[in-house]
Structure 1
Amino acid sequence: MKANIKSKPTIFMIFGGTGDLAERKLIPALYHLFLDSYMPKEFAIIGLGRTDYNDDSFKKLLLGGINKFSRSGKAEKDKWEDFSKHITYLKSDVNNEADYKKMSSLIDGFEKEWSETPIIIHYLAVAPNFFPIIASNLAKVKLADDCDRTRIVIEKPFGHDLQSAKELNVLLKGIFAENQIYRIDHYLGKETVQNMLAFRFANALFEPIWNRNYIEHVQISVTEDIGVEDRGGYYDGSGALRDMVQNHILQVLCLVAMEPPVNFDAEEIRNRKVDVLRAMRQFGPDEIRFNTVRGQYSEGWVKGEKVEGYRDEEGVDPESNTETFAALKFFIDNWRWQNVPFYVRTGKRMHQKASIISIQFKDVPHLIFPNQSSESWQQNRLIISIQPEMSIRLQVQAKRPGLDMTLNPVDMVFNYDGTYENETPEAYETLLLDAMKGDQTLFMRGDQVETAWDLIMPVLESWESKKSISFPNYSADSWGPETAEALIAKDGFHWFTMPIKKADKK
């Protein structure tokens, strides 16, 4: 999706410029785009925040973030100096309309200096309750009017439920055109997730068997070995279903299940993803009971250290009903996927940090080999690992070397580290570059967000209305509650876990 081209002059207005997201992700991403010559000759990064910084102290903060979180390590002095010349800090309050006029004056100054109209990207790296305030004030000072050059980037969560998502969409669309709104999900910027499009639609090998006739079931697992850390207060009002399933996991599911697009146009691809969500079977009361599982972690031992249970974490209600684990079975009611189950799970304090898509194919219709030849028989499986390693594995049966006809599973592996020498860019690098170029392929459209919320609302409402009497129901460093195993085992399957020897990357 990237092309080594020079973008138009660009101004990044980062609301929440002194916050954690800017320090850990946004500035390091922009810095690497600069190092790799993707940034235009004229660009400016304007950090906005209430902290009493000046340009120098703000740059010092950002340099510390790059040195700590950059994928290439500490910044080289001369390269940092070249990059930091483009950074400005403006102390501002998002509630104060006068401060937006200062922003407008600053933008006008750069426009006169460059003698060219720049692209303006308003990046909202702030709490969701500030989204409407910022958008409304941008409109008041006419910083949202130009549909061709002005863009707004909205971080997740986009709404707390279906109603709030609709209200936010209405507000934003009253100020911006849809082609100006970039609803970001950093998961879609990950290299392996993007490779799903290439893998499916650039190869004739898989499309004929990518359907219910050959695929038995699909699993998507996004597991974390950490707890809620310092996000207890936020997480207790969110939970696993909102935090991961409604956005990250459903986005990945759409890439697995979507129909072939006519072309690589952003709207065409987003249309196909919405089609998947609209075809997904809604949950009725019985479906919620039999096809969903929730869990909450208790205390336990992780790497030799005792860790607290969720209800003992800072900021968490001691009687919390919030789930830290969710597993669901989805069905897609269309010709391609009818009656093929899609199992998804996500959880905190799990045994392993991993994001894996497992596609299991149906067994051969007739086994010609004697039983003793195939004791380790395993159905063909396609495994797409997003993290900690980035790889695509096709598991097939092959003859073991020797005089006997003995079969065993073998992996045909495409691994990024073993194939490419170039360092893989971070997800935010891809997404920020696409925002500069005006490419919305990897960003969510308004109707897609609302359809995803509509799908999970029955589950959310059911879980919130009924206090779980089993919480906590799984220990730290486990694979989740036993009922999650039962969810998939009753269909004759088991959750796939792939031993990954490679150390986790942050």
Structure 2
Amino acid sequence: MERKPVGKLLLFGATGDLARRMLLPSLYGLHADGLLPEGLTITGSARSDLDDKGFRAFTRKALDQFLSEDRKNESALAGFLDRLDFQAADLSDESTFQALADKVGDVAGGLAIFLSTAPSLFEPAVKGLQKVGLAGETVRIGLEKPLGYDLPSSREINDTVAAVFPEERIFRIDHYLGKETVQNILTLRFGNSFFEPVWSAQGIDNVQITIAETVGLEDRAGYYEGAGALRDMVTNHMLQLLALIAMEPPARYDGTAIRDEKAKVFRSLRLMKPEEVPHYTVTGQYVGGAVKGEIVKGYDEELGKDSDVETFVAIKAFVDNWRWQGVPFYIRTGKRMAVRRSEIAVQFKPVPHSMFSGRGGLLQPNTLVIRLQPEEYIELLVMAKEPGLDREGVRLREVPLKLSLDAEFAGTRRRIAYERLLLDLIEGDPTLFVRRDEVEAQWTWTDAIRAGWDANRTKPRHYPAGTWGPAASIALTERDGVTWQDD
């Protein structure tokens, strides 16, 4: 399909929480900066009984609540609201699609569809869209995760969508790929000559990827109880981060080259046998504790019943290829943890010989820290000599070389990840979207872990809210002589 901007956007789930917090503010931001195609119309759809005027009022209220004050501009807001209209539709009711097609009108100029709905509605949605002429060659579709809960269900969803839309017109969304710092991983690795010579098992001892949340269930109890931390965070965001760290250098910055290299990483992940899973994974579930000085309930108390769903998982993974053989990738994610943090820590191997040891100087291996949130920075920890005459020995200290993206680009507005992804969907750039073979290779790997949990009847270990998870997760790294990057 030729890559060109569409003239229309159809937004399913337009009155949902994601739309209020992210999608509508993102679209407004693109409009206010003159980045949306001139004349682009945005049709919202949901089961809500709204008309055009009601949806515009709903949108204005959402923007008042979730836009920062410096982004509010009455003239820009009025122009954005003029782009909006609304058509109620029930995706499970085929009879509601014709009115939707009538509202959207002619799609010869291109239509992008953003489907932010439950996966159970994907099949009736795409069939209904096809039946009323909203799935032709000028139409592309964006699918919000989750795309299934295991490999068979993921394949079923992919088969369903593929029966109506070819792969080049399917845009699977992982919003982490829209984050500036995540995209900066590619620039850091492939735009600087000094990293690549040591970016392998010869130069790197281990890689740690952490996504820690301080929140609990919030309003996601129904979804989370059926998902758990492995499905919710690892299969999606964390394996994508791992792939960006581990992938081979792509020949070009485009959707085919980058996604080819990521897919190779996913296919190279070492599948765990059931008997290996207890040695390479730790699961946990938070109980009552204190987060930021506030007393909070445990998972079962929040849910209102006993549950064995994991709210924490730590994994020791391996990428079995030439570049990474033997290098452990430690992954951990959890809710109700000590701090909110998303980061990647790459620990390099120590120097082969220390000339300072005879004078008392102690060396630490260099570490590269890529912080994704709440701050955005890249930090390289290097060894330096403390000032002094060294009469009592050489004193060495680890010091940070820090690039703060927030400070360095202070004059540039930091964009919501969905701004980039929505604009790429509208313009037809697939680079930061996930391809089918990636999704299915990810599920293949995590399904083997879950099968191991089932085979071993693994139950999550309890950890107090406000901590870094079960003590067993510390042992997962400590037995290899590695400490989690918790500073």
Q: TM-score, normalised by structure 2?
A: 0.95
Deviates more, 1:53-62 or 1:129-138: 53-62
The letter for the 1-side match of 2:119 is: P
2:129 to 131, 138, 141: 138
| Distance change in 2, residues 1:228/1:464 (3 Å) | farther
Report the secondary structure of 1:473's partner residue.
Answer: strand
2:274 is aligned with 1:288: no
Q: Residues of 1 paired with 2:476 and 2:327: CA distance?
A: 15
Inter-CA distance 135–378: structure 2 relative to 1 (3 Å threshold): same
In structure 2, relative to structure 1, the CA distance for the partners of 1:9 and 1:173 (3 Å cut) is closer
Say whether residues 1:155 and 2:144 are aligned partners.
yes
CA–CA distance in structure 2, aligned partners of residues 88 and 478 of structure 1: 46
For the pair 1:441 / 2:431, whether they are aligned, the reply is yes
Structure 2 contact 270–320 (Cα < 8 Å) conserved: yes
TM-superposed deviation, 1:244: 0.2
What is the distance in 2 between the residues matched to 1:127 and 1:352?
A: 30
Q: CA RMSD in A?
A: 1.7
**Taking structure 1 as reference, are residues 306 and 227 closer, same or farther at Cα in structure 2, changes over 3 Å only?**
same
Structure 2 CA distance, aligned partners of 1:294 and 1:71? 38
> Residue 400 in 1 paired to residue 391 in 2?
no
Amino acid at match of 2:26: A
Which shifted more, 216-225 or 400-409?
Answer: 400-409
Q: Distance in 1 between matches of 2:32 and 2:360?
A: 55
- Superposed CA deviations along residues 386-408 of structure 1, whole A, max 9, x for unmatched, are 00111111110012223334211
Distance 2:386 2:110 in 1: 59
Query: Does structure 2 retain, via aligned residues, the 8 Å contact 1:321–1:468?
Result: no
What corresponds to 1:450 in structure 2?
440
Task: State the Cα distance separating 1:468 from its structure 2 match.
Answer: 4.4
Identity of aligned residues (%): 42
Q: Which amino acid aligns with 2:195?
A: F
Measured in 1, the distance between the counterparts of 2:139 and 2:477 equals 47
Correspondence 1:98 to 2:87: no
Find the residue that maps to 2:226 and give its secondary structure: coil
Structure 2 residue 206 is matched with structure 1 residue 220:
no
Report if aligned partners of 1:7, 1:40 keep a CA contact under 8 Å in 2.
Answer: no
Task: Answer yes or no: is 1:268 the counterpart of 2:254.
Answer: no
Confirm whether residue 254 of structure 1 aligns to residue 243 of structure 2: yes
Secondary structure of 1:61 counterpart: helix
Which residue of structure 1 lines up, in the alignment, with residue 343 of structure 2? 356
Residue 167 in structure 1 maps to residue 160 in structure 2:
no
The one-character-per-residue Cα deviations of 1:73-97 (angstroms, maximum 9, x if unpaired) are 5622221111100000112221233
Cα separation, partners in 2 of 1:466 and 1:268, compared to 1, 3 Å: same
* Alpha-carbon contact 1:240-1:325 (below 8 Å) kept: yes
CA distance in 2, matches of 1:280, 1:246: 12
Who is 1:24 aligned against? 21
- In the alignment, structure 1 residue 461 sits paired with structure 2 residue 451: yes
Shift, 1:241, TM fit: 0.1
Distance across 1 between alignment mates of 2:234 and 2:94: 37
Tell me whether 99-108 or 407-416 shows the greater mean CA deviation.
Answer: 99-108
Corresponding position of 1:336: 323
Distance apart, 1:9 and its partner CA: 4.6
Identify which of 103, 111, 115 aligns with 1:124.
Answer: 115
Deviates more, 1:95-104 or 1:475-484: 95-104
How far is 1:56 from its partner?
Answer: 2.0
Counterpart CA distance in 1 for 2:484 and 2:273 is 24
| 1:38–1:74 distance in 2 versus 1, CA, 3 Å | closer
How big is the shift at 1:305? 2.0
Equivalent position of 2:226 in the other structure: 237
Please tell me whether residue 388 in structure 1 is matched to residue 374 in structure 2: yes
User: Which residue of 36, 40, 62 corresponds with 1:39?
Assistant: 36
The superposition leaves residues 243-293 of structure 1 with CA deviations (integer Å, 9 ceiling, x where unpaired) of: 000010000000000001111221111010000011111100222010001
1:7 and 1:437 in contact (8 A); partners too: yes
Q: How far does residue 37 in structure 1 lie from its aligned partner after superposition? A: 1.2
- What SS does structure 1 have at the residue aligned with 2:276? helix
| Match among 2, 9, 12 for residue 9 of structure 2 | 12
SS of residue paired to 2:251: coil
Q: Which stretch shows the higher mean deviation, 169-178 or 88-97?
A: 88-97
Q: Which residue of 2 aligns with 1:501?
A: none
3-state SS of 2:468 partner = coil
Cα offset, 1:234, TM superposition? 1.5
Contact 2:31 2:76 in 1 (8 A): no
Q: Which moved more, 1:134-143 or 1:219-228?
A: 134-143
Which deviations, in whole Å up to 9, do the C-alpha atoms of 1:111-169 show, x marking residues without a partner? 6xxxxx322111111112111110111111121121xx211111111111110001111
Residue of structure 1 in register with 2:167 after alignment: 178
Q: Secondary structure at the match of 1:153?
A: strand
Alpha-carbon contact 1:321-1:464 (below 8 Å) kept: no
Shift in Å, 1:372: 5.9
Q: Which residue of 2 aligns with 1:502?
A: none
1:402, 1:70 → 2: CA distance?
52
C-alpha distance after superposition, 1:2-22 (max 9, x if no partner): xxxx97352111111111111
CA contact (8 A) 2:284 2:312 kept: yes
Q: Partners in 2 of 1:144 and 1:91 — Cα distance?
A: 19
Q: Which runs of 5+ in 1 are unaligned?
A: 1-5, 112-116, 499-506
1:464 and 1:224 mapped to 2: Cα distance? 26
Once the two structures are TM-superposed, the CA of residue 107 in structure 1 deviates from its matched residue by 2.6
Is the Cα–Cα contact under 8 Å of residues 11 and 45 in structure 1 kept in the other structure? Answer: yes
For 1:248 and 1:101, the matched residues in 2 are separated by: 36
Deviations 1:356-381 (A, max 9, x none): 10000000111111466435x32100
Matched, 1:211 2:200: yes
Deviation at 1:319, TM superposition (A): 2.2
> Which of 70, 74, 78 is the equivalent residue of 2:75?
78
Q: Verify the 8 A CA contact 1:399 1:408 in the aligned structure 2.
A: yes
Structure 2 spans left out of the alignment, 5+ residues: none
Amino acid at match of 1:479: W
Question: For residue 352 of structure 1, what is the amino acid of its counterpart?
Answer: V
Structure 1 runs (4+) greater than 6 angstroms displaced? none
Q: Select 2:313's aligned residue among 298, 313, 326.
A: 326
Partner SS, residue 152 of structure 1: strand
The whole-number CA distance in structure 2 between the counterparts of 1:305 and 1:383 is 29
CA distance in structure 1 between the aligned counterparts of 2:267 and 2:6, rounded to whole angstroms: 39
Amino acid at match of 2:374: P
Query: Which amino acid in the other structure matches residue 252 of structure 1?
Result: L
Match for residue 56 of structure 1?
53
- Between 398-407 and 472-481, report the one with greater CA deviation: 398-407
Deviations 1:219-241 (A, max 9, x none): 00000011111211211111000
Aligned mate of 1:423, from 413, 420, 424: 413
Rounded Cα–Cα distance in structure 1 between residues aligned with 2:6 and 2:129: 20
Q: CA deviation at 1:101?
A: 1.7
